[in-house]
Amino acid sequence: MSAPLPAIAFLGIGLMGKPMATRLLQAGYRLTAWNRTPAKADALAPFGASVADNPGEAVAQADIVITMLEAGPVVAQVIDAALSALRPGTLVIDMSSTRQSEAQQMHARLAARSVAFIDAPVSGGVMGAEAGSLAIMAGGSPADFARAEPILQVMGRAILVGPAGCGQVAKLCNQLIVGGTLSIVAEALLLAQAGGADPAAVRAAIRGGFAESRILDVHGQRMLERNFLPGGQVKSQTKDLENVLIAASAAGVHLPVAELVTDIYRSIADAVPNADQSAALLALERLNPGKRLGKDADKLP
């Protein structure tokens, strides 16, 4: 007779958290949801979730606690609210994108209360969360990862990349590649049009060569359609890139391309914070007055 599945508390039912929690419910896990905006957690009730009024209530009977929140300070605030209710032996899996130092501090703080911790940020956006195909980069001990792995596999492909905090380093590497590639794809498409070529045809022509990428495929099409309704968001990409620079400084390395890409996102972070990260195109067009990709109206949140 197989052992019962662990009980899960899921804290943060936002753009990513909702589809991730939904997949866990569909896989048969008992799940208690909490969100600062209660209606977002209530939306999981039809899928079988229990809904808690506060973080402490959510984690009180949980074997595994998953956080999917906006940033490190928010994670710390929510864990603070739940700390007294966390039972020794509970495993906290923070799937938010935070700084490495914040993950390490959380690990030390929970370890002092005999609570295990893994940082396991994700990449793949809302589509990946819905499909259960997220790339999950985990930092923690091999034993804690082995305990978390069956749950993480419901949401995507998980790989242990090092001790606590290293999941966040891997996520920053991912976001640097994503942000840089988005900016280059925007430049390529705008150059194609400004040079008299059909940018959609140029995109089709270079796919399959060494320039092929998922970003050229998915976000290149978004740029051509000027569809900036959010999958990822400008504010999240900007935060992640700023954390890249912080991590680089702490590691003693200079990343000039990361600095340029961060400035690109900063230039639109106040104007379109909730737009999809493919809005890097809008930042580029600001630098090139009179140049615009396509004729469609912008689709913005």
Catalytically active residues, by annotation: 171
Q: What is the 3-state secondary structure (H, E, C) of the chain?
A: CCCCCCCEEEECCCCCHHHHHHHHHHCCCCEEEECCCHHHHHCCHHHCCEECCCHHHHHCCCCEEEECCCCHHHHHHHHHHHHHHCCCCCEEEECCCCCHHHHHHHHHHHHCCCCEEEECCEECHHHHHHHCCEEEEEECCHHHHHHHHHHHHHHEEEEEEECCCHHHHHHHHHHHHHHHHHHHHHHHHHHHHHCCCCHHHHHHHHCCCCCCCHHHHHHHHHHHHCECCCCCCHHHHHHHHHHHHHHHHHHCCCCHHHHHHHHHHHHHHCCCCCCCHHHHHHHHHHCCCCCCCCCCCCECC
